[in-house]
Amino acid sequence: MFSRILITGGAGFIGSHLSDELLARGYKVRVIDSLLPQVHGASQQRPEYLCDDVELIVGDVRDEELMAKALDGVDAVFHLAAAVGVGQSMYQIANYSDANCLGTATLVELLAKRSVAKLVVASSMSVYGEGLYRSSSGEIHQGVERKLDQLKRREWEVCGQDGERLQPIPTPESKTPSVASVYALSKYYQERLCLATGPAYGIPTIALRFFNVYGARQALSNPYTGVMAIFSSRILNDRAPLVNEDGQQHRDFIYVKDVALACRLALESEDSSGCVFNVGTGTCCTIEKLARDLARYLDHEDLEPEITGRYRIGDIRHCFADISRARGILGFRPRYSLEAGLTEMLDWLAEQTAEDLAHAASHELMKRGLSG
């Protein structure tokens, strides 16, 4: 059904693994990527990990002329291109809004003139804000958020109006979004714009809400990327992982190869147009446990996590995925447990060097009043 696939942001962490998945299934793959220095380093060279069979176009998705060239002869599009980072998005507001929103608008406006057979857009679990919660009486709570004065008191857990501590439960796609950062808002815009305009022009469109993705090829020197990469960078530099709040936040960590699998299944699915799918494992882990496990896997058990007791504006307490919809419609079943994913990631990590910029990023947020 499909011959040539375009992946925007395709030279990055997730995009390169998706390229591998698609090439293995016989698809031709073209990617467009701006090779941002924050992600790819100052040289901005073609990444060594990007398969030679991938056609790379270097440029920005906001460049209409270049995007038209990238779309030539393409049957389907994965839209992964985005500026990524909750904390940084709260002070680079114009940059994140322009890159993520205008970039998506440029793409869909071009698709309105040259239809493709499928559009899959990468969304994020960040659009939920806090995940779903349940009280001791069984009542489901959504839309509950922690206020700034609560964070300043170091009262970390989400509570109901009566002060009862609520218990986190798996978050389904039906939960009403509640964006807590500029990044989350821009990802929700990307998702909604694609789902609104794609069908209007006869393009089957799917949104995938990625949870916490980890694995080889992450940008370890980018202090605004995923917590797994940030912790890895600290440990590789013989420094203790910095854990915000009390470390008991719950997240759903999914190995990047499972994300690539979910993307391919979405591409090949015939019954999912207009749908939104969570892409996670359906299991959760605390941030403190993750830090300890990663240090142990990297033979640095002596590096006890540093529980900072600090907060960041835009961070949420608990969120992990209900993947029933992806399992039932796409046939998606994650193949990697956290332990299996970390084990496979170790060989890559052992060969990496990383510049630890976690303290600098934390200082930047504190200076701007976005952390405390």
- Quick: pLDDT tens for 15-37: 999 999 999 999 999 999 999 88
pLDDT band at 3 (very low <50, low <70, confident <90, very high): confident
- Cα–Cα distance measured from residue 15 to residue 50, given in angstroms and rounded to the nearest whole number: 9
**pLDDT tens digit sequence for 54-89:** 999 999 999 999 999 999 999 999 999 999 988 899
Tell me the HSE value of 229 on the side-chain side, using a 13 A CA sphere.
Answer: 23
Residue 298, SS3 per DSSP: coil
Share of the chain above pLDDT 70, in %: 100
pLDDT band at 7 (very low <50, low <70, confident <90, very high): very high
Mean pLDDT of 195-224: 93
| CA 148 to chain centroid | 25
Residue 226 has pLDDT above 90, yes or no: no
Residue 42 confidence (pLDDT): 75
Report yes or no: 29 and 54 within 8 Å, Cβ to Cβ. yes
Report yes or no: 220 and 287 within 8 Å, Cβ to Cβ. no
**pLDDT tens digit sequence for 276-306:** 999 999 999 999 999 999 999 999 999 999 9
- The sign one gets for the Cα dihedral 40, 46, 51, 54 is positive
Residue 366 has pLDDT above 90, yes or no: no
Residue 37 confidence (pLDDT): 85
Residue 309, SS3 per DSSP: coil
Residue 358 has pLDDT above 80, yes or no: no
The pTM of this model reads: 0.96
- Tokens coding 129: 């804000």
Residue 67 amino acid letter: M
Residue 95 has pLDDT above 80, yes or no: yes
Residue 248 amino acid letter: Q
Please list the active-site residues: 183
Residue 359 has pLDDT above 90, yes or no: no
The more confidently predicted of residues 220 and 311 is: 311
Report yes or no: 184 and 129 within 8 Å, Cβ to Cβ. yes
Residue 350 confidence (pLDDT): 85
* 314 closest CA partner among 98, 151, 117: 151
**Whole-number Cα distances in Å, 195 to 104, 124, 129:** 11, 14, 20
Residue 354 confidence (pLDDT): 78
CATH 3.40.50.720 domain extents, the chain? 4-131+171-310+318-367
Residue 251's beta-bridge partner residues? 285, 319
Residue 364 confidence (pLDDT): 84
Neighbours of 65 (CB within 10 A): 8
Residue 60 amino acid letter: D
Superfamily (CATH H level) for 4-131+171-310+318-367: NAD(P)-binding Rossmann-like Domain (3.40.50.720)
